[in-house]
Amino acid sequence: MIKNDLFLRALKGETVSRPPVWMMRQAGRYLPDFMKLKEKYDFFTRCRTPELATEITVMPIHQVGTDAAILFSDILVVPQAMNIEVEMKPGLGPWLPHPIRDKKGVDAAVVPNVYEELGYVYDAIKLTKEALNDEVPLIGFAGSPWTIFCYCVQGQGSKNFDKAKAFCFSEPELAHQLLQKITDTTIAYLKGKVEAGVDAVQVFDSWGGMLSPEDYQTFSWQYMQQIIDALRPDIPVIAFGKGCWFALEHMSKSGAAALGVDWTCSPEVARKLTNNSITLQGNFDPSRLLSPIPEIEKMALEMLNRFGKDKYIANLGHGILPNIPVDHAKAFVNAIKNYES
């Protein structure tokens, strides 16, 4: 039995004494101990070495005190497993030297045996579960098919993913073939995470907000829905679409256990769009963790009060930034943990 099960109870919509709190990208770049490991090991070495991934995953539980752990990994291990080369370039981020722009590229992408290609992730989950010793739940994650597709076609990060969108609109049949391959791989990958022992999964649609509401349904949400349908009988699924407030009403009927909300959507609007029917997670602006600590504490409580303490998981509206002082992250977490209704 997990000793602190607040997060899992909130996912079920149960009445809780206070909301649980964790932070996207909490296992990482703002922690001094993480930076020491970064100096010694390159990015994908950290992802592929179960002992390192475990150490990084557990860091914020001990140092910041969150109510859930999220496995240290990266969404781009999925295209790597699909025979798509991905590098992580310092100062640039993800770099794909051979972006997919034609039928040959789509055909070369494979739906892999996830246990062979991504076994290191499952080993990291088992090691992390041992290290956590049932203190808090462990979250596994994947990128949404659309978000992975964006990197595969664009070849790197982008402000508008114009090449990815152009491929969708000029070669829709090929685009859907690639999206389906990514979806099939992601479903198998997440099912493997469930078998390895995670307690919940989150699907990150970081670039969903790049699409119009109509195109979002066509090129992103229908694939997210496939993932939710495949996983929900076995585990709670959190769906997070950055910039996708326009789809919240539709998403609330998907069977997901919870929906992430970014900072551009107010708690009141998010509750209204979802008819208060589902657990919501978010939506503190990560940059606001640079505010003075008293202001962080005040704003965190205000956010909690606006969402309400039940059917709510306190979190950021996207990943924590690398320049956030650890004390500021702790202040955010403790403001939620010290809440008294």
**Number of neighbouring beta carbons within 10 Å of residue 112:** 19
* 25 labeled part of a ligand binding site: yes
* 318 labeled part of a ligand binding site: yes
* 62 labeled part of a ligand binding site: no
Dihedral angle of Cα 186, 157, 167, 253, to the nearest 10 degrees: 50
* 7 labeled part of a ligand binding site: no
* 26 labeled part of a ligand binding site: yes
* 209 labeled part of a ligand binding site: no
Q: Distance (Å, rounded) from C-alpha 105 to C-alpha 229? A: 28
* 206 labeled part of a ligand binding site: yes
* 44 labeled part of a ligand binding site: yes
Residue 285 Cα distances to 56, 248, 249, 260, 282, angstroms: 23, 18, 22, 13, 9
Residues tagged in the binding site annotation for substrate? 25-29, 44, 74, 151, 206, 318
Residues tagged in the binding site annotation? 25-29, 44, 74, 151, 206, 318
